[in-house]
Amino acid sequence: MKACNGVRTRVWKFPAVYKMTPRETMYLLGFHLSPMGIVVSLMIGFLLIFMRLKSKKYNLPPGPWPFPIVGNLPLIVKEPNCLIGFTKLRIKYGPIYILHVGIQTVVMVNNVDLAIEALVKKQVDFAGRPSIPSFNRNSEGRMNVSNENFNHRWHMRRKVAFKALKSALSGPSLTEKITLSIDQALGYMSKLKGPFDPHKYIDLILYNLIADICHGTRYEFDDPDFTKMVDFNNSFQELFGNGFISDFVPWMRIFELSAIRKIEAYFKMLRTDAQASIDQHRETFDPNNPRDFTDYLLLAKYKAQEEGNTELLNELTDVHLRQTMLNVITAGTFTSSMTIAWLILMMIRNPHVQIKMQKEIDSVLGQKNMKAEMSVNFPYCTAVIREVMRMYPVVPFGIPRATICDTTLGGYDIPKGTQVVFNLWDLHHDPQKWDNPSDFNPERFLDGSGKLAGKPTSFLPFMAGRRVCLGETFSKPEMLIIVVSVFQKFNISSPPGEIPPVDGLISTAGYRSPPYNILLEERY
């Protein structure tokens, strides 16, 4: 772990070959005057010629010339912070540039106008997903909504998942489930007299909430299943980091086998738990009384059977059902938990914002419980959440897209199958779109009368277009209710003499807040 410009980062760990002298490296890769070295050299030469000819066929975005085999990876991994590497490339090549990452071609988009062109105006062209080996293995062959490529099958499964999630959250159930989860965690927190790290308590709120929504279960703080989920998320960040190099340079897999096997073991455990939940729900399933998200998925399959819709039935196997559940569980906990952790950290560092937020809470609620339908009455609290999401996008590069046909972007040709990455960090810190983007200022999301202003075009925490985040409509009220409920009950501060750091842990997979301690003071 290294630090640069106030940001802690995990970097890709390369084998010793990258620390050798150029001559030793060339020798190890086979570039010496042996028959095998000549063959390998000729193959790489033909590959470079092919890439050059291919580039002449298209008017591709600018970008650095790739190294043999590894492409432009050395330009990125040489920086202690991946954001620095991408920023240097943007400064040199402009708001759109092309990278060769091993065997993959990647287009980086760093400008909101280009992002809107791709995600909204040409949303179908850019609605695909790249085939990434580690993602494919852990999604049982791209059987979930997140990793499946854009096609009719994906559309059917996403429609079922969205309807099931919406039904599971209809009526007062969302508010009730959130309140139960919050009250449980706040009960634990209120018993703590000294400083403590809030991360695990935030996780408890989110895991209990999503478990209740998905399959009607809840955890206690010392529950082994809860501990197992927290360990999984922590291990995922630790092991996955910036991704597996072998996804882009296959021969590197031998150096990553240990981490790959650990990640695969975790996903296998999650699949086993999800399948057990489906089996248990199937035994007590009542189509006239669905209880949770799992029941609504089973209801979709039940109706397809009744209607003789074999096409949909083929897309609702147990593999698809458990992968859909895992999508909702992992996405519904990981991003919200990290956002709330960042928000509490910023309230400690900006106590005047915490006070202003609590004044709004007191004027609207007093000591009553927050309800989802009250969301419009909390413009300042909503603005605080948005500003945290702007400054600290927890998935700073989104989930990669892929073009499903030959298309164009910013006047450049983007061939079919090209991986496209949207640099949300740059979008959210663009000085041409945001005044003083490094300052924490919730008022930027309010109008002159203190009401919530329209969403700025350069604010895309949930992405946009055909593959906009499935849980966006759920995540917004969820986080607002949690934030309002926590700061309604507590004043939160740092222990005396401690200044909480802001050097978060950043990678292409996520942006996590650092460990920090808090003190609670009950307000009434």
CA 273 vs. chain centroid, Å, equals 22
pLDDT of residue 11: 36
pLDDT of residue 266: 82
pLDDT of residue 228: 77
Which of 50-59, 77-86, 359-368, 506-515 bottoms out in mean pLDDT, i.e. has the lowest?
A: 50-59
CA-to-CA separations, 100 to 55, 252, 299, 343, 473, in angstroms, rounded: 12, 16, 45, 36, 36
Confidence bin at 9 (pLDDT 50/70/90): very low
Strands 7-9 and 505-506: parallel
Q: Which pair of structure tokens corresponds to residue 12?
A: 């890709």
pLDDT of residue 141: 84
Residue 3, pLDDT above cutoff 50: no
pLDDT of residue 309: 93
CA 305 – CA 298 distance, rounded (Å): 11
Q: Count the helix, strand and coil residues of the chain and give each as a percent rounded to the nearest 5.
A: 55, 10, 35
pLDDT of residue 8: 42
Report the length, in residues, of the chain: 524
Q: Which residue has the tokens 């240990």?
A: 258
| Residue boundaries of the structural domains of the chain | 2-522
For the segment(s) 2-522, the CATH number from 1.10.20.140, 2.40.100.10, 1.10.630.10, 2.40.50.140 is: 1.10.630.10
CA 502 – CA 279 distance, rounded (Å): 44
Confidence bin at 42 (pLDDT 50/70/90): very low
Residue 403, pLDDT above cutoff 70: yes
pLDDT of residue 1: 40
Strands 407-409 and 104-109: unpaired
E strand or H helix that includes residue 477: helix 472-489
Query: What tens digit of pLDDT does each residue of 191-232 get?
Result: 888 999 999 899 888 888 888 889 888 888 888 878 877 777
Residue 477, pLDDT above cutoff 80: yes
Of residues 191 and 383, the one with the higher pLDDT is 383
Query: What tens digit of pLDDT does each residue of 172-194 get?
Result: 677 888 888 888 888 888 888 89
Query: What tens digit of pLDDT does each residue of 432-463 get?
Result: 999 999 999 999 999 999 999 988 999 999 99
pLDDT of residue 243: 66
DSSP state of 228: H
pLDDT of residue 49: 46
Of residues 96 and 337, the one with the higher pLDDT is 96
- Look up the pTM and report it: 0.86
